[in-house]
Copies of this chain bind each other. A is one copy, B any other.
Amino acid sequence: MPRQVDHDQRRRQIAEAVWRLATRGGLEDVTLRQVAAEAGVSARLLQYYFGTREQLLLGALEILNDDAEQRARERLAMLGDAPGMHAIVRGVLLELLPLDEERRNRHLVYAAYFVRFLTDPALAKVAHDAPRALENLVADLIARGQELDQVPQDINAAAEAVFLVAGAEGVQSSVLLRQRSAEDAVAMIDHQLARVFTTTNCE
């Protein structure tokens, strides 16, 4: 059914226009007319594919999330066959950093949506589970590293996982604001990872 492909491609084309406008100027610049102009389609098409403006914002966010998940999977798969806990955790954390234009724009869009997550239940539901899931994943990986003697036993896996994810999100902001380079951010993450992933506790 080639129709379905066209349908999704159109929605993606429009969603990308929403993202571009949101990264500049925030959600208030995401007006139906502006999106239509940016996507190179008529305003009527936005109504046809998404309906109201609220649904357009919601739909664009869903597509963005699907993208993020797929890209993350691809990059993690690129680590090879037996990556080791350290490399996997590193890959997960680096996914939170705006290391390329794609991730940078994605996190900017999230920032533009942020305040809405508190008041709009529909939006909140879309972006609710991700961070917790990440923390649990990292905590699990660290705990398995302890079983394999790659991580000291006196490390609190859950606490460190929360802190690592939070730290990554924190530097993310400063990189987005261009107050810090992406390389510095990665170095910072690696410094903390080196502390956790050490077979000998006091070297």
Given contacts A163-B191, A167-B163, contact A23 B108 (CB under 8 A): no
Interface size class of A (residues with CB under 8 A): 35 or more
- Check A116 for interface membership: any CB of B closer than 8 A: yes
Minimum C-beta distance from A122 to chain B (A): 14
- CA–CA, A163 and B124, complex, Å: 28
- Check A111 for interface membership: any CB of B closer than 8 A: yes
CB-defined contacts of A191 to chain B, threshold 8 Å: 156, 159, 163
Comparing A3-11, A78-86, A173-181, the segment that makes contact with chain B is: A173-181
Comparing A25-33, A38-46, A65-73, A139-147, the segment that makes contact with chain B is: A25-33
Of B23, B116, B173, B201, the contact of A169 (CB 8 Å cutoff): B173
Contact indicator per residue, chain A 157-197, by CB within 8 Å of chain B (1) or not (0): 00100110111111111101111000000001001100000
Chain A interface main SS type: helix
Q: List A residues at the B interface (Cβ < 8 Å).
A: 22-28, 108, 111-112, 114-119, 124, 128, 131-132, 156, 159, 162-163, 165-174, 176-179, 188, 191-192, 201-202
- CA–CA, A128 and B163, complex, Å: 24
Of B108, B172, B173, B188, the contact of A163 (CB 8 Å cutoff): B188
Which of chain B's residues has its CB closest to A127's CB?
B177
Of B118, B166, B192, the contact of A170 (CB 8 Å cutoff): B166
Minimum C-beta distance from A162 to chain B (A): 6
User: Lowest 3 CB-CB distances: which A-B pairs, in order?
Assistant: A166-B170, A28-B28, A169-B170
Minimum C-beta distance from A17 to chain B (A): 16
CB-defined contacts of A170 to chain B, threshold 8 Å: 163, 165-170, 172
